[in-house]
């Protein structure tokens, strides 16, 4: 299974922005949502 950050970086590459900043931004937001899910999921059980 792909992680959120991997999916985001692939999507950005497919759209061929070619911008290093956009790729970094996508990875950072992917990590952020991944961490949010990681902290929120255990609290729901």
| 3-class DSSP string for the chain | CCCHHHHHHHHHHHCCCCCHHHHHHHHHHHHHHHHHHHHHHHHHC
**What pLDDT digit, counting tens, does each position of 1-42 carry?**
556 666 556 555 555 545 555 555 656 566 666 666 565 566
Angle between helices 4-14 and 20-44 (to 10 degrees): 150
**Domains of the chain by residue range:** 4-44
User: Quick one: pLDDT at residue 17?
Assistant: 47
């Amino acid at each position: 299974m792909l992680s959120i950050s991997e999916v985001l970086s692939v999507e950005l590459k497919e759209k061929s922005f070619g911008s290093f900043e956009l790729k970094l931004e996508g990875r950072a937001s992917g990590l952020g949502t991944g961490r949010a899910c990681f902290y929120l999921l255990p609290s729901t059980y």
